[in-house]
């Protein structure tokens, strides 16, 4: 089996920084890349903040935090990521953006380097076609927030070989994660079920069946969900929710996956949820307030 000792993460946002965080805690040397030094710096700051929270909660000790931070290095140039044993793309949920990254990265990869995408919905087979190694390409879908969520979906493309799959499962489990195998169909398992639920909650709001507060309260107390579906949509990012719904709608050609017009309107307005300060809740004050 391929021995993975070093990991490169392309994308220093919420998901990428979370993946770098758990890889460093797991004992791997990590290179973190993004399109600008500012984004890398922001990602590193978020990792340090999240590690500090784990220390305060007694989940790790200070020595583990210090060692993890020492293992993570910024990679200003994408080609630097080519030197690692496993490169994980964690860019925005846009197929063309992801393919552009793989095409740019491929010439700099070692012959045995494994490639992975953290995509939450896009075909692994199609993404693999943008590289020179579809047999060494796999989907590693970490859940958000990565340091707290225990699941990693493992998705094989049509050409992914057995050795790559075995290495991916072993790697994810070495991070303390539980793996679930998903076939390469739109949105895989978690988002095939979760995101249409969020979309249906938005339809419920759109049709006036309930208010934001009523819908979230109903699901939290009536279905024992830790977070209401509209609050969860804001947490994920409404642009990501819309992107996944579009992948489902276009990939499966079933009207039940049609994105709610209200979801489209919020994204067009730039009300993307927590990261934008407004979504189905307004986060700019001391406490979130429903926007409808």
Whether the CB-CB separation of 289 and 282 falls below 8 Å is answered with yes
Q: Bridge-partner residues for 64, per DSSP?
A: none
- Candidate list 89, 93, 153, 231, residue with the active-site label: 153
Reading the block at residue 110, the tokens are: 């070692």
Whether 120 is catalytic is yes
Whether 224 is catalytic is no
Long-range contacts of 47-51 (CB under 8 A, 24+ apart): 47/17, 47/20, 47/21, 47/72, 50/17, 50/18, 50/21, 50/145, 50/147, 51/21, 51/25
Distance CA 188, CA 123 (A): 9
H helix intervals, 27-109? 37-56, 62-71, 95-105
- Candidate list 50, 120, 199, 243, residue with the active-site label: 120
Whether 33 is catalytic is no
For 221, residues 6+ apart whose C-beta sits below 8 A from its C-beta are: none
- Candidate list 17, 121, 131, 191, residue with the active-site label: 191
Whether 183 is catalytic is no
Q: Bridge-partner residues for 179, per DSSP?
A: 152
- Candidate list 141, 199, 231, 243, residue with the active-site label: 141
Distance CA 73, CA 23 (A): 12
Catalytic center residues: 120, 141, 153, 191
């Amino acid at each position: 089996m391929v021995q993975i000792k070093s990991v490169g993460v392309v994308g220093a946002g919420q998901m990428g920084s979370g993946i770098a965080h758990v890889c460093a805690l797991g004992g791997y040397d990590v290179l973190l890349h993004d399109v600008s030094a500012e984004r890398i710096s922001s990602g590193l700051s978020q990792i340090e903040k999240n590690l500090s929270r784990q220390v305060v909660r007694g989940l790790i000790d200070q020595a583990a935090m210090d060692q993890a931070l020492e293992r993570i290095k910024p990679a200003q140039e994408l080609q630097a990521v080519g030197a690692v044993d496993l490169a994980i793309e964690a860019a925005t949920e846009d197929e063309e953006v992801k393919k552009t990254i793989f095409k740019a990265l491929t010439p700099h990869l070692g012959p045995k380097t494994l490639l992975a995408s953290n995509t939450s919905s896009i075909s692994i087979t199609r993404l693999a076609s943008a590289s020179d190694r579809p047999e060494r390409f796999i989907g590693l879908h970490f859940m958000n927030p990565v340091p707290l969520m225990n699941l990693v979906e493992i998705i094989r493309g049509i050409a992914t070989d057995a050795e790559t799959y075995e290495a991916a499962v072993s790697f994810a489990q070495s991070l303390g994660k539980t793996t679930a195998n998903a076939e390469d169909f739109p949105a895989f398992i978690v988002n095939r079920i979760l995101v249409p639920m969020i979309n249906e909650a938005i339809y419920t709001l759109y049709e006036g069946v309930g208010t934001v507060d009523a819908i979230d309260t109903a699901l939290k107390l009536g279905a024992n969900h830790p977070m209401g579906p509209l609050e969860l949509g804001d947490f994920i990012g409404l642009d990501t929710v819309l992107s996944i719904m579009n992948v489902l709608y276009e990939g499966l050609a079933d009207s039940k996956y049609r994105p709610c017009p209200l979801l489209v309107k919020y994204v067009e307005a730039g009300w993307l949820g927590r990261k934008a300060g407004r979504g189905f809740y307004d986060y700019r004050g001391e406490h979130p307030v429903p926007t409808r």
